[in-house]
Amino acid sequence: MRRSATLRTSVGFVAVALLCLAIADIQITTVAPWRELGRLLTGMVTPDFSNPAAIGTALMRTVAFAFVGVALGASAGFLLALIFHLRVVRTFCAFVRAIHELFWALIFLQFFGLHPLTGVLAIALPYAGVFAKVYSEILDEADPLPMQVLPAGTGLISGF
């Protein structure tokens, strides 16, 4: 029973992928793609360390993107943890956690282009799902006694 459902789902995904392939824009836009690939591989094998200031700037930007992305993810995760008991929130968090940051970056690249917001959101979105789950588990394991002695009608945020 379960195996046939998995097979049907897999065949369905393949069918959707083939339909999307029919309308996809897969045209190569560069004049010489093999030359561009060669330049990419040459740059990976022989990096250029001649400009240390540019390397330092790139390194600091990378750290800043990561810091801001994780901070946004932690903030959003905390807010989502307060309503994590809702099935739609749990499903959303599982969905965003299941997709890697690189794929989020590819998706956001289509919307924002090569912009800092692309990197920050690509990091923040999956981490929001991770933090929501972790914070929710921490809140679930908290001692329930203080919550029980609060007056009736106390809101969720006030109770927290």
| Domain limits, the chain | 56-143
- Give the pLDDT of residue 36: 85
Please check whether residue 88 is in contact with residue 30, taking contact to mean a CB–CB distance below 8 angstroms.
no
Q: How far apart are CA 123 and CA 116, in angstroms?
A: 11
Residue 28 pLDDT level (bands cut at 50, 70, 90)? low
| Cα gap 31→49, rounded to integer Å | 29
Could you give the residue ranges of the DSSP H alpha helices within the chain?
Answer: 2-23, 33-45, 52-82, 87-98, 101-112, 116-140, 145-148, 156-159
Three-state DSSP class for residue 100? coil
C-beta of residue 81 within 8 angstroms of C-beta of residue 132: yes
pTM, 2 dp: 0.68
Q: Convert the pLDDT of each residue in 79-124 to its tens digit.
A: 999 999 999 999 999 999 999 999 999 999 888 888 889 999 999 9
Residue 67: other Cβ atoms inside 10 A: 12
Identify the band that residue 125 occupies on the pLDDT scale cut at 50, 70 and 90.
Answer: very high
Of 115, 43, 52, 128, give the one whose Cα is nearest residue 84.
128
Mean pLDDT of 10-15: 92
Burial status of residue 73 (CB atoms within 10 A of its CB: 0-12, 13-18, 19 or more): buried
Q: Which two tokens stand for residue 79?
A: 């807010």
